[in-house]
Structure 1
Amino acid sequence: MKLPIRVSEESREPIYHQIESQIKALIMGGQLPSGTPLPSIRALANDLSCSVITTRRAYQNLESQKFIKTLQGKGTFVSEVDAQHKEEEIEKILYEALHKSIEQGIQMGIDINRMRVLFENILEDIHSEHKE
C-alpha cells in the first residue's frame, strides 16, 4: 500500500514528524480505518526517499501513541482509536496548525486584529463551500 503523504526536506519540521503527523491525520480523517495494513518501514522509506531510521522513528512514535500496532511476522496495522482519544488528537492537530499560522503571521508583522479578520473570512468561506 502506498500512503498519500509527502515530506519536504526544506521544512523546519523533522521528516519523521512530517510522516507521523500525516499518518495520524489520515487515521483521524478516516482515510485509514482500523485494521488497515501499513507499508513496511523499508517500503515507506523507499517511497518517501528517506532513511529507514526516519520511518522507524515515525512508526515507533505512532505505536507508542496507540495509533498503530505491529504484529510480529504479519506487519503493521492501524489500531482502533477510541472516540475520546480521537477527539483530543484532532484538537491537538488543529491547534498546532493554527499556532504555526499565527506564528508566521506575527513573524511577517501582521497585526493581531488583521489575523482575526482573516480567520473570520476563512471560516465564512469554508462554511459557504460546505453549504453548496
Structure 2
Amino acid sequence: MRVVLSNSAGVPLYQQIKEQIGAAILTGELAEGDALPSVRALARDLRISIITTNRAYAELAAEGFVATVPGKGAYVLPLDSALVREQLLRQVEEGLQTALDAARRAGLGREDLVGMLDGLLQADRQG
C-alpha cells in the first residue's frame, strides 16, 4: 500500500491518509487481518507529524475499518457489508455533487444530465 499526500489538495493530510487506506481496504488491496504500518513508521515515511497519522488511524477505527491494539498496531477488520455499502454510497454522492457543480457552471439542465448519465450507463454495459 502506498500513500501519496498533497499539500495543495485543499484536503487535510489526515483525511488524505484515511481516504487512501480506506480505499485500499474497500478494493481488497488490504485484506482482513493485514497490519497497517505503525503510526511512527508512516509518519516518518510521509515526513509528517505522528499526531496526523494517529488521527487518520483513529478515524479509520471509528468507522470500523481497522482495530488498534495497544503495543501491537492497527489491523484491518473484516468488511461489514453495510459499512461497505455506506462508504460506496458516500463516494457516489460526492461524485454526483462534483458533476452537478460542473453542470451548473456549464449551464446544463436536468435533461442534459440524465442524457449524459444514460449514455455513460449504456457505454458501461457495452464495454
TM bucket (normalised to shorter chain) is 0.7 to 0.9
Match of 2:119 in 1: 121
SS at match of 2:9: coil
Which letter does structure 1 place at the counterpart of 2:21? I
Match of 1:36 in 2: 34
SS at match of 1:5: coil
Runs (4+) of structure 1 exceeding 6 A deviation are none
Change (3 A) 1:125 1:41: farther
CA displacement 1:44-101 (0-9 Å, x = unmatched): 2233333222211111111111110111222110111221222122211222233233
Question: Which has the higher mean CA deviation after the structures are superposed, 109-118 or 34-43?
Answer: 109-118
Change (3 A) 1:78 1:116: same
Normalising by structure 2, we get a TM-score of: 0.81
Identity of counterpart residues, as a percentage? 32
1:28: how far off?
1.4
Change (3 A) 1:121 1:47: farther
**Are residues 1:60 and 2:83 paired?**
no
What is the CA–CA distance in structure 2 between the aligned matches of 1:18 and 1:75, rounded to whole Å?
A: 20
SS at match of 1:45: helix
Aligned length: 126
Match among 1, 6, 9 for residue 8 of structure 1: 6
What is the CA–CA distance in structure 1 between the aligned matches of 2:65 and 2:83, rounded to whole Å?
A: 10
Match among 82, 85, 107 for residue 83 of structure 2: 85
**Are residues 1:100 and 2:104 paired?**
no
Question: Which has the higher mean CA deviation after the structures are superposed, 43-52 or 10-19?
Answer: 43-52
Change (3 A) 1:110 1:124: farther
Please list every run of 5 or more consecutive structure 2 residues that lacks an aligned counterpart in the other structure. Answer: none
CA displacement 1:7-42 (0-9 Å, x = unmatched): 221112222112111211111122111101101112
Change (3 A) 1:29 1:116: same
Change (3 A) 1:80 1:99: same
Match of 1:24 in 2: 22
Please list every run of 5 or more consecutive structure 1 residues that lacks an aligned counterpart in the other structure. Answer: none
What is the CA–CA distance in structure 1 between the aligned matches of 2:44 and 2:119, rounded to whole Å?
A: 41
